[in-house]
Structure 1
Amino acid sequence: MAFDIRRLDGLDYDDAEPLLEDYIIEAVEAFANSATGKAHIERFPEGGDWIGTFIEMAYLYGGFTLSKMTKANAQEVMEYILPRKLTLLDPSDTDGAIDELVAFWRFLAKTYRLRSAHAIAAYLQSIADKFPQWMFDPARGGMAKNFMMQGLQAGYDMTTQEGLETFQAEYNRNLPAQSSTPAGMLDIPIPMDTPPADMKAVFDQLGLELPEVGQPVNLKALAEQFLGVLEQLDPAEAEQLIASMEDDLDDLDDASIEAPPSAAAGGQSTDLRTLLLQDSFNQDIPLTEAEQALLRDTTISETGPGTILQDFQTTLDFIGADGVPVSGKLQHLSLKLLGELNGQLSHPIAIDLKRPQQKSYPNIHGLYLLLRATGITEVVAKGKQLRLRLHPDVYASWQQLTPAERYFTLLEAWFLRSHPEMLGEERSGPFTMGDRCLKVWPTLHQKTNQTFPDYGRQDILAYWPGFYNIALMEMFGFVELTHGKPDPGKGWRLKKLMPCNWGNALMKLLFNAHMAVGLQWPSAMDATQPFGDLQPILQPYFPDWQQNLAVPSYPFRPGRHIFKVSLGNIWRRIGISGEATLADLSQVILNSVGFDRDHLDQFTYKSPTGRTVEVMHPGFTYDEGLPTTVEVLIGSLPLSEGGTMEYLFDFGDCWRFQVQLEAIDPEADSEAPPASRKTKPAKKRRAKKQRPVGEVLAAHGEAPEQYPVYEDEW
């Protein structure tokens, strides 16, 4: 019977696991009976069972099947999974591993035409010298494997019960001598912190009781108690317990490996942000009586503190009712407008650059950030040109606010809602602008005056917190800056920075507010949340802060959406109802180019504030709180006519379609028969007689082959 290479595809683990052993046997037999396999066996008659090990480990620990494996998946297996999970007794055990796996993947390339097989075979060949080192590298092994390797290196027979017990006793006796902790350090009682869930589970399993949170704990005594109980266990049971702790760590590692880039905006990036900031935000900083009095006695007006209200209104007036042109990719202000706007601001910046960009003017870059973070502007398309225009509803709300309400709206937008991604800094990490400013403020405030004698010293601030944040600090009245004349061919020159008492008092208040909410603000990740997060903290000092800026709303558009979908030089014009989902659109796109829907996909577009939104196929389970393509409706997309998004299909071959919204017909609707696709259970979908889908209205160019047949390179 022919080997069915796709037998495990699409099965749940519980359904696939019983089939795995037979699957491996049949895969090895198919290889052995092929011309490629016979040639390999003639050269290496003994074999090493590496094919079976590779298939088993790839599926059990990575969820990877042969037919859908990519080069990146193979790298994970060879560089992470095998070194961590597989224990070898001798370096010679790796002999022949790479030759066997290369031959196997060449067989798969020739027989099954797998799209990544040639690339995987080439990768395997490239690591022939590295793989044996990886398999015996302690840094790549888990706790259980390293325990076994230490025993082997010490001369113990770790394949027998007696050898395990003897080495475990020796290992436990030598623990104090091997400790790198300074003598007496672990004897000092410290307050008990909240234990990790896996640690608590292990202690509960051993019948050990952890101290209550806040109670003093002696770490040395706790460790000795743990090891004492562990030593009394059967060695196999102890090893299994250690392995379970290792698996908990693996789960965390796997989550970070498998999550696509969009996770940086979700839960994992939030956890990373908290982890990296918690040392900086570990205790309140009390305000002095003088600082509290300064806050109470300060009146916010159009002219102070700082110039932010004047400069922001100047920028709004500059944009005007018709809006201004912006660039296509970054959506920054047109280059020809920058000099004019800079000249109208309170503190124009002098530069000597031939072709300045928006970021060349930190003051404009900072104001643009606030325009996006507040939602008071939106990017729309007029023909082929993008324009930044005022959002009518939000701007009307802005005009109803008092100076104090405007000032603190902008402060909240800056500190809580702003992110470098809004400026086009895609790889900027999880930190908000408030994180950056609060973290750097103690350094800025430690001296009454900071001078920057040259560009080298000044550039320390270029990334952290960023020149635009320094410019905003000046506009908000937090600091006073002394500007200098730029060197020939150079940009903005900062000579001196002097922190102000107003800035220090507000920074302390904001710092304590971050502490009070555990660094988590509702609006930081969800721009649809209403303004006013800072109101409870600041209103006691500024009681006239009563109203908040309205957040932009985008009504659902049920009409027929016309998209132009391009793949290189070919394109398809597609009409689809606003009631359809992104999953429906993906099906129409794939049908229009004759692709099988046998891979995961995602849509990527910009939110109204300039943040990247990635809507994933429901097959991604890294964060169940994020919307998926079967949930997001076409009519809810924040695209204006002319706006674009990207459709990525197949994370192995990476087919990238550009999807432009050309028009919306509010009257028409697509009533074509439903496309063939898997759907959610009927009770979870909208109750409609007929599911709205789309149709291809026009086509240009011949679609490429999804799986082109390559000549055998081998």
Structure 2
Amino acid sequence: MTLIKLPPEALKTIKNQQFSSDKPGSVVKDFNTFLNRVIEKPVPLSKGKRQPTQKWTSVLNEELTVPGRPELDRPLTIHYPSILGLYLLVRASGLGRIFIAGNNKFQLIINQSLLEQWQKLTPTEQYFSLLDAWLTRASSEIIGQELHGRDHRPLGCTGVNFLRQSAFNEEPASSICLEALPTSFGTYNIALLKLFGLADVQWLSTTQIAHLQFTPLGVSLLNAFEKSIDVQGLMLPSGCEDILYEDDGMLQVVRQWRDDVNQMLHPPAVPHHESYIIKASMYAYKCQRTLIVPTNATLDQLAMAILGAFSFSNQFLYCFLYEDCYGDNYEVADPQLKSEFTDCADTVSLKDAQILPGEQLRLLYNLQVVAQFCDSSPVC
């Protein structure tokens, strides 16, 4: 495994950069402002895209270092790109997770185990932990948005190609680039470029950019991760390893450049429980069943138990849909679909899925959602 090497000038830029709560950008300061709000009280989310509600967003906006000024009389959450970008970081870092608060109401709550790690990090370590979350895990799908390209992350979408030629440089972005970026790269990702101090961004409106120019730090860092970007939008060739996407990959890379980075956020161990109390609900029929399920039970066994509890016969194919603590979506299919899916319900257990109390696991049966499992509680 080869670590990332930088040209002398780029290495000097990164080594000499001062990192604090508001340098090189205000991302750490504004992120902690967002985080403190979540710690204080769960954040209400919309049912569709699961974004913070407009009322909550407008209040937080006034607390940011540079508040957004939407030109609309009744702006929506998507008209606050900085807050939407910070929300993406909260989810992709794992510090915030979605909780089902009854009657299909969604809330953003704090992940206490990761919060303890976060509070022990220095501003420099916090900065690179957020950069890691953004570049490697921040899929736009997490916040109900969509980008085109190899995937929905900033380095994998087609919009990144508008930001560079053969490499990232300090030349101002062209007018064509400025016009295409809001839809191809996402306004929230553009806002994060500024929050991270990677680019100077000036807005005409919440959906139009007047100016974008990378800083020396932005040029150095983004070119360092050139390997993670493919101009053609293709996957890396088989056998190629990209250290950035490995466990603690960012930590291994940044340690080469700075002596003051010793730790970053990493996934905590999931507590072991013998079984779970699962509330399975059919919201369309206002029907609910409560089951006690061993954690070593396969999802196939769980599916049969649920179908039996609701007096369904096992005549149709099914699949389970759920997301992990980082907001990534997973699909576990009926064992009869092994030829088409990698993960099948007879080989994946509840323990493997690592579902936490309050999270949601959906059973899709005969092309419709039969039950949603929310408010699962461990039985020790």
- TM-score, normalised to structure 1's length? 0.47
Task: Confirm or deny that 1:535 pairs with 2:251.
Answer: yes
| Corresponding residue number in structure 1 for 2:30 | 311
Q: Is the 8 A contact 1:605 1:613 kept in 2?
A: yes
Give the deviation of 1:348 after TM superposition: 1.8
Equivalent residues in 2 for 1:239-638 (5 A)?
Answer: 288-384=7-103, 385-425=105-145, 430-431=150-151, 432-436=153-157, 439-443=161-165, 448-450=171-173, 458-484=178-204, 486=205, 491-512=206-227, 521=242, 524=245, 530=247, 532-566=248-282, 568-569=284-285, 571-579=287-295, 580-622=297-339, 626-634=342-350, 637-638=353-354
| Corresponding residue number in structure 1 for 2:233 | none
Q: Is the 8 A contact 1:349 1:492 kept in 2?
A: no
Q: Is the 8 A contact 1:451 1:495 kept in 2?
A: no
| Corresponding residue number in structure 1 for 2:362 | 646
Q: Distance in 2 between matches of 1:540 and 1:635?
A: 36
| Cα separation, partners in 2 of 1:339 and 1:493, compared to 1, 3 Å | farther
Q: Is the 8 A contact 1:397 1:549 kept in 2?
A: yes
Give the deviation of 1:339 after TM superposition: 1.2
| Cα separation, partners in 2 of 1:581 and 1:418, compared to 1, 3 Å | same
Q: Distance in 1 between matches of 2:110 and 2:283?
A: 33
Q: Deviations over 1:373-400 (max 9, x none)?
A: 1101112233444321221111110111
Q: Distance in 2 between matches of 1:448 and 1:663?
A: 52
Q: Is the 8 A contact 1:321 1:389 kept in 2?
A: no
Equivalent residues in 2 for 1:20-35 (5 A)?
Answer: none
Q: Is the 8 A contact 2:320 2:331 kept in 1?
A: yes
| Cα separation, partners in 2 of 1:358 and 1:406, compared to 1, 3 Å | same
Q: Is the 8 A contact 1:342 1:348 kept in 2?
A: yes
Q: Secondary structure at the match of 1:482?
A: strand
Q: Deviations over 1:656-679 (max 9, x none)?
A: 313233453626xxxxxxxxxxxx
| Cα separation, partners in 2 of 1:560 and 1:378, compared to 1, 3 Å | closer
Q: Distance in 2 between matches of 1:498 and 1:426?
A: 24
| Cα separation, partners in 2 of 1:297 and 1:607, compared to 1, 3 Å | same
Q: Distance in 2 between matches of 1:635 and 1:457?
A: 46
| Cα separation, partners in 2 of 1:639 and 1:296, compared to 1, 3 Å | closer
Q: Distance in 2 between matches of 1:357 and 1:553?
A: 37
Q: Distance in 2 between matches of 1:544 and 1:623?
A: 47
Q: Is the 8 A contact 2:179 2:208 kept in 1?
A: no
Q: Deviations over 1:290-316 (max 9, x none)?
A: 333222222322221122111111111
Deviates more, 1:393-402 or 1:343-352: 343-352
Residue 569 of structure 1 aligns to which amino acid in structure 2? Y
Q: Secondary structure at the match of 1:345?
A: coil
Q: Deviations over 1:334-371 (max 9, x none)?
A: 21111121221122221123443322211111111111
| Cα separation, partners in 2 of 1:572 and 1:400, compared to 1, 3 Å | closer
| Corresponding residue number in structure 2 for 1:143 | none
Q: Secondary structure at the match of 2:62?
A: helix
Q: Distance in 2 between matches of 1:523 and 1:292?
A: 17
Q: Distance in 2 between matches of 1:585 and 1:433?
A: 36
Q: Distance in 1 between matches of 2:31 and 2:280?
A: 37
Q: Distance in 1 between matches of 2:250 and 2:83?
A: 25
Q: Is the 8 A contact 1:374 1:551 kept in 2?
A: no
Q: Secondary structure at the match of 2:249?
A: coil
Q: Which has the higher contact order (CA 8 A, sep 6+)?
A: 2
Q: Is the 8 A contact 1:414 1:434 kept in 2?
A: no
Q: Is the 8 A contact 1:600 1:617 kept in 2?
A: yes
Give the deviation of 1:572 after TM superposition: 4.4
RMSD value, Cα: 3.1
| Cα separation, partners in 2 of 1:640 and 1:358, compared to 1, 3 Å | farther
Q: Is the 8 A contact 1:559 1:635 kept in 2?
A: no
Aligned counterpart in structure 1 of residue 377 of structure 2, from 661, 664, 681: 664
Q: Distance in 2 between matches of 1:522 and 1:408?
A: 15
Q: Distance in 1 between matches of 2:335 and 2:146?
A: 24
Q: Is the 8 A contact 1:616 1:628 kept in 2?
A: yes
Residue 187 of structure 2 aligns to which amino acid in structure 1? F
Q: Going by fraction, where is strand more abundant, 1 or 2? A: 2
Q: Distance in 2 between matches of 1:321 and 1:368?
A: 16
Q: Distance in 1 between matches of 2:328 and 2:118?
A: 22
Deviates more, 1:502-511 or 1:570-579: 570-579
The alignment of Structure 1 onto Structure 2 pairs a total of residues equal to 365
Q: Deviations over 1:9-57 (max 9, x none)?
A: xxxxxxxxxxxxxxxxxxxxxxxxxxxxxxxxxxxxxxxxxxxxxxxxx
Equivalent residues in 2 for 1:149-228 (5 A)?
Answer: none
Q: Distance in 2 between matches of 1:570 and 1:425?
A: 30
Larger Rg: 1
| Corresponding residue number in structure 2 for 1:161 | none
Q: Distance in 1 between matches of 2:7 and 2:298?
A: 55
Q: Secondary structure at the match of 2:315?
A: coil
Q: Distance in 2 between matches of 1:557 and 1:451?
A: 56
The percent of aligned pairs where both chains have the same amino acid is 24
Give the deviation of 1:560 after TM superposition: 4.5
Deviates more, 1:287-296 or 1:398-407: 287-296
Q: Is the 8 A contact 2:251 2:264 kept in 1?
A: no
